[in-house]
Amino acid sequence: MDRKTRRQTDIAQGLHYIDPETGSVIPPVVTSTTFARDDQYQLIGGHRSYSRDHNPTYDLAEQMLCRLEGGHEALLFSSGMAAAAAVFQSLKPGDHVVYPKVMYWGLRGWLLEFAERWGLDIEPFDATDPDDLERKVVRGKTRLVWIETPCNPTWDVIDIEAAATLAHDAGAELAVDSTVATPVLTRPIDWGADIVMHSATKYLNGHGDVLAGALVVKEDSQLWRDVKTHRAETGAIPGSLDAWLLQRGMRTLFLRVTNASASAMAIAKHLEGHPALTSIAYPGLESHPGHGVAAKQMHGGFSGMLSLLIDGDERDALRFVSRCQVFIRATSLGGVESLVEHRYSIEGPDSPIPKNLVRLSVGAEHVDDLIADLEQALG
């Protein structure tokens, strides 16, 4: 069968998976940690001898990720942090790394601590300054440029194509945390990225029942080979059931992301100019400083994430959060339940995030109910 179908069709059908033995359209969960050899001492199924290297249940999820991102190869990890850490831990002491000042706080905190112990030369750049990245990337010195776009939770937008040009001209590689944009809205490899990272716990799984991470590479490289070795040697792999749940979740990725993005846009437009807010951080709004770049590299929506800047101080922001009745007060994003959180309370006193910022993750609820909840919480 000569299939020429779109990504949404391929992913919804799990790459048209049909089990060759049973005809099942749902793949089995292979829980075995080891794999037998035949009488010639050859592996029977073609997999390596131990699940720490690979497992058949990973295969479909990784193939789906490659289809989604247009990549050469994908790897699953036990968490998004494990996936990101594998890239940095595959660098050598003394390597120069450039990263955004505002990014996922867990990775930023770990990187600051790890770099000192590992001997990495790390340097932050300001994503709100279009020229700062160019000033920080040094030809012949910089080894890795790490970006996140949109940046969590201020939703600053970084031009992937421009960042890739800067990185490659300097002899560096570009890695993009695309957790929030998802491959539904942005494919960083199409814009020149070398590695794409996802906290698969979020939108890729989408149901709040899996902890996983993923990396997708544009083409083979020494850094990628080192990452693969790192995963195998450290055992930073998900369990078989988690890998199975992840590919199950990805089948509805287009439906969930498209719906969440449309609802987030409706919320942002409805609340823009609200007297209880100083501003709304959402790249879909034309008033957003990064809207032009976002419109270029994001297609089909601008994600289900936005932040509200409350007109007041930390106490006013917390009061707003406490008044929400439909939005659930919890930390995460990308699920079917809409969540609200006060980011500064989560990140702590070293956070660069404004104390009056409240982050929203828009889920699958009716958008009118979400708007009504925010309106009453704003008073």
pLDDT (0 to 100) of residue 2: 62
pLDDT (0 to 100) of residue 55: 86
What does the alpha-carbon distance between residue 250 and residue 182 come to, in Å, rounded to a whole number? 11
What does the alpha-carbon distance between residue 214 and residue 74 come to, in Å, rounded to a whole number? 7
pLDDT (0 to 100) of residue 1: 47
**Residue reference for tokens 């008033």:** 287
Joined together, the tokens standing for residue 126 give 């300001």
What does CATH list as the number for 7-250?
3.40.640.10
| Alpha carbon separation from 342 to 43, 309, 356, 377 (Å, rounded) | 52, 10, 8, 14
- Choosing among 3.30.1280.10, 3.10.200.10, 3.90.1150.10, 1.10.3720.10, the CATH entry for 253-378 is 3.90.1150.10
DSSP state of 110: H
* Side-chain half-sphere exposure of 303, counting CA atoms within 13 A: 32
pLDDT (0 to 100) of residue 156: 96
What does the alpha-carbon distance between residue 206 and residue 201 come to, in Å, rounded to a whole number? 7
What does the alpha-carbon distance between residue 268 and residue 265 come to, in Å, rounded to a whole number? 5
Of 198, 171, 172, nearest to 185 by C-alpha is 198
Spatial contact of 149 and 157, defined as CB atoms under 8 Å apart:
yes
pLDDT (0 to 100) of residue 139: 96
Spatial contact of 68 and 189, defined as CB atoms under 8 Å apart:
no
Predicted confidence (pLDDT) per residue in 46-99, tens digit: 666 677 778 889 999 999 999 999 999 999 999 999 999 999 999 999 999 999
Angle between helices 105-118 and 80-89 (to 10 degrees): 30
What does the alpha-carbon distance between residue 205 and residue 79 come to, in Å, rounded to a whole number? 12
Cite the active site residues.
52, 104, 177, 202
What residue segments make up the domains of the chain, in order of their start? 7-250, 253-378
Joined together, the tokens standing for residue 365 give 């609820």
pLDDT (0 to 100) of residue 34: 84
DSSP state of 37: B
**Planar angle of CA 85, 87, 93, nearest 5 degrees:** 90
Predicted confidence (pLDDT) per residue in 173-207, tens digit: 999 999 999 999 999 999 999 999 999 999 999 99
Q: Give the strand pairing for 195-198 and 173-177.
A: parallel
Per-position pLDDT tens, the chain of length 379? 467 899 999 999 999 989 888 899 989 898 888 888 888 888 887 666 677 778 889 999 999 999 999 999 999 999 999 999 999 999 999 999 999 999 999 999 999 999 889 899 999 999 999 899 999 999 999 999 999 999 999 999 999 999 999 999 999 999 999 999 999 999 999 999 999 999 999 999 999 999 999 999 999 999 999 999 999 999 999 999 999 999 999 999 999 999 999 999 999 999 999 999 999 999 999 999 999 999 999 999 999 999 999 999 999 999 999 999 999 999 999 999 999 999 999 988 888 899 999 999 999 999 999 999 999 999 9
Three-state DSSP class for residue 367: helix
**Planar angle of CA 164, 165, 166, nearest 5 degrees:** 90
Across the beta sheet with 213-217, the strand order is 73-77, 213-217, 195-198, 173-177, 142-148, 96-100, 121-125
Three-state DSSP class for residue 147: strand
Please list, residue by residue across 184-219, b when 16 or more beta carbons sit within 10 angstroms of its beta carbon and e when fewer do: bbbbbbebbbbbbbbbbbbbbbbebebbbbbbbbbe
Partner residues linked to 95 by β-bridges: none
Of 145, 174, 162, 178, nearest to 68 by C-alpha is 178
Three-state DSSP class for residue 366: coil
How many C-beta atoms surround the C-beta of residue 105 within 10 A? 18
What does the alpha-carbon distance between residue 101 and residue 75 come to, in Å, rounded to a whole number? 27
| Alpha carbon separation from 242 to 26, 114, 173, 198 (Å, rounded) | 15, 27, 30, 15
Could you tell me the pTM of the whole model?
0.95
Indicate the length of the chain as a whole number: 379
Of 330, 329, 325, nearest to 370 by C-alpha is 325
What does the alpha-carbon distance between residue 270 and residue 250 come to, in Å, rounded to a whole number? 30
